[in-house]
Chains A and B, each alone.
Chain A
Amino acid sequence: MIDLPALAQACGLLLSDWRPWVVVPPGLLIGLVFGAIPGLSAPIAMAVFLPLTMSMDFLPAIMFLTSVFTGGGFGGAVPAVLMNVPGTSAAVATTFDGYPMARQGHHSRALGLALAASCFGAALGYVLLLLLVDPIAEAVLLLGPLEMFAIAAWGLTLIAVLNEGSFAKGLLAGILGVVIGMIGMSARGDMRGTLGMLALIDGIPRIPALIGFFAASEMFRLMRNDFLVADAAHRRPQFGAILRGLREAFAYPGTLLRGSLIGVGVGAIPGVGAAVANLLSYAETKRRAADPAHYGRGEPRGVVASESANSSSEGGSMATLLALGIPGGSATAVMLGAFAMHNVTGGPRFIAENKDIVYAIILGNLAQVVLLLGIGTLFLFGAAALVRIPVRFLVPSVLVLALLGCYSITGTMAGPVTMVACAGLGYWMRQNGYPVAAVVIGLLLGPAAEAELLRSIQISGGDPSFILTRPIAMVILLLLAASLLYPLLRRRGTRRGGGTARAAPEAKPLVRRDEARNESA
């Protein structure tokens, strides 16, 4: 699987030259900062700094961009935990438990958990990439629209897992997201719900909508408090708690491993990537949990599941970039731009002729993950101080940064307008017990599911037996059915055994009281 002489040459390339290493720490820091500012993200940072790489050799240029990618991949967790702002769609599931942990005063621990899970996930992703770069690329080529539809449908089932109170509210919120996501020109070229506005042809801007639903609506709720964390004693950034979080992540090896493997697999699929990986991993972890009622209320495994998956998907997306020359998302698309600037074209021929460089890139990424652990820990210590800022200054700061970030994404006022509209709707929904996360999941995955389903219908001519000719799709759909049925069967088994199923509902009032304490302070 590994070409050992090429691996030795790659080590030689990395160790004989200091230039690829000099660019890594600033790259990581740039990625962390851009990832941590709501509205900005790693792809934006990579695009901004892309011209800088023109003066670099190919290897340092790619090392610089991948370090921004790695830093930004984790940086998104910082606002997700501290402010309920998933700066990118890859960090949506991190908010589910990260933010409740922060509200309970465990922000330092949650950030430590996220960093360790990110580093582990990214490292595992790159190790698998090193071992399996060729087979991963071949497997990706076997996936057609039906398989992509099955994966998107799997992500959509998270809607059923998310709601804590009313199933009907979760379902309606998810459908609302799907319908909002279908506004614009369909895959078939039909204009739907655009009101004749040119700005809506590409649909509702996804990231501004996501920021509005999650972050801005949360700011409206937060404005009644004085501080993010009610207890003054818990507001101090705690270096010890960050380190405890780093260690604690490894207490959940199953969650880490499952999240990382989901991340690599899903990340390798172009156009899907980290946005779906974190949701799938969270959904599977919650479905398999003995105590699913704890999720969404500050469960550390929720943070680990999300962060390990979104970071390991980096390895997967690099696999398709290197082996096929296909960018899996916007970050790898920028990297493809850097490839083009250096007259390099990714693909099977590039791998065959330059295996030493491919291995050097992967090994360099592995080293970046180790460096991220150190730089990220120091960065978190500074970032955790955010909870000390009084809410009367935090709320306007976050809203302004989010608004400017939305403007920078769309380049027009469509971004800020979407954010404000979704903020108002999100607040109204939250006040009435509707999970806004389900809206966002519907918004992100609904249009993708529709487009892939449409392509499948066109390819098959509408013949349902087409599915019998697609074994991978059948396997994915069977796995989906099994993952949906497994918790039901286990619950029935537990009830027959007269067991612990009753423990779960009791968790709710306990946390409610905790939340009430925060609210009242």
Chain B
Amino acid sequence: MAAPVHAAEAGQRARLGRVALPLVIAAFVAWFTADAARASFTLENLVMVAPAAALAFVTCAVLAVRAWRGPEPDAAEPAPLGPVLALLALLAGLVLLMEEVGFDVGVLLFLLATPWLLGERRPLVLLAFALPFTALAVLGLQAILPFTLTTLVL
């Protein structure tokens, strides 16, 4: 019985995701429109904002109702969220740490962690991939950029 229960949960999660997406977009558009109107309530400022917002609200309402009613043919199969969130967290971690620990160390850690997350468990292979790639990418970027990169070793 565990498998059907699991599938039902995944289906329910996907359904909530489908309803949530247009609502999140509508909330973002509403916030932007209010901010633009606050900045200047003139035709010139809102000439594109107002029609775009009106169209967005109508479309969001249609899509949210349609998503609530049932599954849609063009949506992808619900995929396991864990690995995607883990990769997104690694990427966000790299962005947050890059300037703190240095681009070289940040990139190296990311290049070690991501293949490991995706199934590569041989330490030598991980090092043989991550070390030269980091050196090439960071030194290459340093050579072409007119400003300096924060690095710890390179």
Contact = CB atoms under 8 A, between A and B. Distances in A.
Interface of A: 40, 44, 48, 164-166, 168-169, 171-172, 175-176, 178-179, 182-183, 186, 188, 190-193, 216, 219-221, 223-224, 391-393, 395-397, 399-401, 403-404, 407-408, 411, 413, 416-417, 420, 423-424, 427-434, 446, 449-450, 453-454, 457-458, 462
Interface string B81-98: 001100110011011001
A191 B63 CA distance: 30
Interface string B102-136: 01000100110011001110000000010001000
B39 A400 contact: no
B55 interface: yes
A417 B94 CA distance: 10
Contact of B141 (A188, A404, A424, A432): A404
Contact of A408 (B29, B48, B83, B145): B145
A457 B129 CA distance: 57
B1 interface: no
Contacts of B99: 413
A295 to B, nearest CB: 15
Nearest to B92: A420
Interface string B62-75: 11001100001111
B21 A429 contact: yes
A399 B98 CA distance: 14
A453 B47 CA distance: 8
A250 B73 CA distance: 36
A180 to B, nearest CB: 9
Nearest to A458: B44
Contacts of B84: 220, 223, 427
Nearest to A396: B114
Contacts of A224: 79, 83
Given A168-B62, A192-B49, A432-B21, A397 B39 contact: no
B119 A193 contact: no
B153 interface: no
Interface size class of B (residues with CB under 8 A): 35 or more
23 contacts: A165-B74, A168-B62, A171-B55, A171-B59, A172-B22, A175-B52, A175-B55, A178-B52, A188-B44, A192-B49, A224-B79, A392-B114, A392-B115, A395-B87, A396-B118, A400-B111, A400-B137, A408-B141, A423-B91, A433-B72, A453-B47, A457-B47, A458-B44
A520 to B, nearest CB: 11
A413 B98 contact: yes
A175 B29 contact: yes
Main SS class of interface, B: helix
Contact of A192 (B35, B78, B98): B35
Contact of B60 (A172, A183, A449): A172
Given A164-B74, A392-B120, A399-B114, 9 more contacts: A171-B55, A175-B56, A223-B87, A392-B118, A399-B91, A413-B98, A413-B99, A450-B48, A457-B43
B59 A172 contact: yes
B76 interface: yes
Contacts of A186: 45
Contact of B21 (A175, A216, A221, A428): A428
A171 B25 CA distance: 12
B18 A432 contact: yes
B17 interface: yes
B45 A393 contact: no
A398 B56 CA distance: 33
A433 B94 contact: no
Contacts of B91: 216, 399, 403, 420, 423
Nearest to B83: A223
Contacts of A420: 88, 91-92, 95
Given A188-B40, A450-B48, A395 B118 contact: yes
A459 to B, nearest CB: 12
A176 to B, nearest CB: 6
Q: Which of B53, B115, B147 has the most CB of A within 10 A?
A: B115
A498 B92 CA distance: 54
Contacts of B52: 175, 178-179, 182, 446
Nearest to B133: A397
A66 B145 CA distance: 21
A165 B119 CA distance: 34
Interface centre among A186, A188, A432 (most CB of B within 10 A): A432
Contacts of A401: 137
Contacts of A40: 144
A432 B66 CA distance: 12
Nearest to B134: A400
Contacts of A169: 63, 74
Contacts of A172: 22, 25, 56, 59-60, 63
A191 B144 CA distance: 34
Contacts of A48: 144
Interface string B25-47: 10011011001100110011101
Given A193-B32, A420-B92, A223 B63 contact: no
B25 A176 contact: yes
Nearest to A454: B44
A187 to B, nearest CB: 9
Q: Which of B88, B111, B118 has the most CB of A within 10 A?
A: B118
Contacts of B62: 168
A176 B75 CA distance: 19
A416 B74 contact: no
Nearest to B48: A450
Contact of B88 (A164, A165, A423): A423
